[in-house]
Structure 1
């Protein structure tokens, strides 16, 4: 028994040591990327970081290929004991990281390589692709790299020209954020009977949460919510001003909300209309109405959590802005595949909150001015 415990303890120490080696490799790679050298110089440095992270570094060689260029460790040779992961950059160029053992070892998870080493090489490939993509993106958008030395200042250059050069260099990246998220939901028309409106306000402190959520996440474009309780009042409001989003509550009474949706869409087909169901039990009814061509764009389930309103707003903004933001700012996309209204009504609020909070923390970690932080949060 003691011998088994001793062997188990030794194995635990061995595994811990291997994980520390892998973490050290990630840290060394990140440090090299932060130097922001040329792609070739960076890849040559990183390939030398790889062998020490594997189980048998003295029998490990590595190779990185990208754009028909090859970067290898000393004494490199190809063998049949290979762990490889490919990556692709935004210009559709393929690259690969390959790690070889120069002698045979015991077969474990992936030949002689363990599962954690497979995860490591995938993470490294992702880091490399992200680094190269950032350089390519700057080239595509003609953004000067702040790490490149200033051009020599020619004699006779005026102070005005020097100032202009300074502004162009340091504001180029900031200008991109002005072009992102051009559509913002500023006015919301909430249509609900008095009972449903009272339920929302009472259960979730609707007004308090909407304002609190935007304030907490440092979002500057806060929508204004106007509540009405009937068709005529809704139409009067729509005639008097423009609304970016209409939310119709579907409660115990179901025919009037459907009638209201039809009337609104007849007169204002260009305004997005979301249906908010009072309970999961209303989902079959909404599905049937949608299949029959009911004039609403999407539907969500009210679960007593007012963050669903925040998610509805952000989802609409993302749908409208996705083409612009991916083209101009190369924004990344999170794709959620879910056909259950009950589930995505729960997932989306959590997902949006996590993304916004993570973005906020990342921006706070960057030493920059307040305007730059506001622009990045806005985007």
Structure 2
């Protein structure tokens, strides 16, 4: 017999799958404009979350905003960026309007962040494909004739500095032995997160740890190695010489509790740190 916990988990997975099915059905129409897509999306995104009745959503895309009727910023918030052609074009926010139950420091399930990331990724892919088609049509005919999702053509993006830094930040977080170093989470902040990094910009990483002295020394040495390697890579790419590319910011439970230093960026409403990985 399936116990109640397993049954509840299965029900949550069913809600997530139904949400993705609705999204696929919505995006099957190639002629929808952003208003139609996001107006429908804010309606059914909350249906995929655990506490549907207190779940609200807001979508910002290229300077415009769509939000559910009762949306407001709360401490219980998930965010995922919408990337179109590797450029941040907007974001999706999901908020709980009241506290029900916290588990492992969050009211959201880990699967719910994955769900939101998947939705944002598919939205970005949809607009990329539509704008690519529109660009090709313009090249063939010389006439731009598109709906809202093809109105803005793909633009050449010669500035790749933030992109490879972002990929390396993801790779570093994937390879880190978090248990060995006593790391609880790693976040991305600064110009790379905001897609504004230049050829001499640092890669700013925020590491939340509970390391002892030996672990902390090993952690710093590990990042120093990465920093020097990335500095050499940047030199080969741009000709800029730096003494190290990673700007490492370390925070502890005390910093988070007291709201010290960079700890305030975790879960912030404005310019929040982007979670790369959390310890299991």
Q: TM-score, normalised by structure 2?
A: 0.47
Q: Say which structure is richer in helix.
A: 1
Higher gyration radius (CA): 1
